Copies of this chain bind each other. A is one copy, B any other.
Amino acid sequence: MSDDASPAAAQRTAVVSAALELFHEQGFEATSVDQIARAANVSRSTFFRQFGGKEDVVFADHEVLLDEVRAYLAQGHDDPWTAICVASERVFRHFAADPVVARRRYQVVRQVPALREREIVTVFRYERMFDDYLRRSLPGLDPLDAVGFAALVTAVHNHVLRRLLRGEDVHPDVLRTALAQASARFGVGEAAEASDEVVVAVFPRSMPTAELTRRLREHLDD
């Protein structure tokens, strides 16, 4: 998500990359911190300064991304619904930018139940962050709309991301379209912006056709 190219960040990336390669080759359980440190050419103490343990290496990117999403949302946005979609796209682009590492991580997570569970918990942190942000940004918003939108965006994001991680070549527009559709279900985002382009008319089936076309005409000719 960020272009953080500091030496510390580069070293961190190298450790993650080396660890995922070892996890992938010889299994998560069978890989020791010593092996990771050796492969990444860092000391044990450097490893533990950067990561709490082996599991944390797998989720290191999410910690950075969650911080970045939090910071992005905190900037304040005219349209909080769209801001959430933009944040979701940024997270996606982070993984799409290095699909080899992202896919390796996915393979490792899939094989270790404890990592799968931690991933579910991690994904929920994005969802709750979106939920909290919506409620903060829109006082008076029905909390059901906040939790529902946050859950829908997160689920859509994950589905599209999972397609990428399984090896599909997923263009970022796929996510953008899916998020636009999700927003439209809540009548927000670009769908709402585009209200000049589209007219939605809802009327009782029992209304005489002549009457409803009269009303529509009257309305549209305004």
Which A residues lie at the B interface, using CB under 8 A?
117-118, 120-121, 124, 127, 143-144, 147-148, 150-152, 154-156, 158-160, 178, 181-182, 185-186, 195-206, 209, 212-213, 216-217, 220-221
Cβ distance A95 to chain B, nearest Cβ, rounded Å? 18
Cβ distance A222 to chain B, nearest Cβ, rounded Å? 11
Task: Kindly report which residue of chain B lies nearest to residue A202, judged by CB atoms.
Answer: B200
CB-CB under 8 A from A203, the residues of chain B are 198-199
- Docked pose: A158 CA to B195 CA in angstroms: 32
CB-CB under 8 A from A209, the residues of chain B are 216-217, 220-221
Interchain residue pairs A-B with the least CB separation, the first 8: A151-B155, A213-B213, A185-B185, A151-B151, A201-B201, A147-B159, A147-B155, A209-B220
Contact of A147 among B117, B158, B202, B220 (CB under 8 A): B158
Task: Kindly report which residue of chain B lies nearest to residue A127, judged by CB atoms.
Answer: B155
Cβ distance A190 to chain B, nearest Cβ, rounded Å? 15
| B156→A148 contact, CB < 8 A | yes
Cβ distance A219 to chain B, nearest Cβ, rounded Å? 9
Task: Kindly report which residue of chain B lies nearest to residue A160, judged by CB atoms.
Answer: B144
- Docked pose: A217 CA to B155 CA in angstroms: 39
CB-CB under 8 A from A156, the residues of chain B are 144, 147-148
CB-CB under 8 A from A213, the residues of chain B are 213, 216-217
Task: Kindly report which residue of chain B lies nearest to residue A206, judged by CB atoms.
Answer: B197
| A155→B150 contact, CB < 8 A | yes
- Docked pose: A181 CA to B185 CA in angstroms: 11
Cβ distance A137 to chain B, nearest Cβ, rounded Å? 18
In the complex, 18 of the A-B residue pairs with CB atoms within 8 angstroms, ordered by the A residue number, are A144-B159, A144-B160, A144-B178, A144-B181, A147-B156, A147-B158, A147-B159, A148-B155, A148-B156, A150-B155, A185-B186, A195-B205, A197-B204, A199-B201, A199-B202, A199-B204, A199-B212, A201-B201
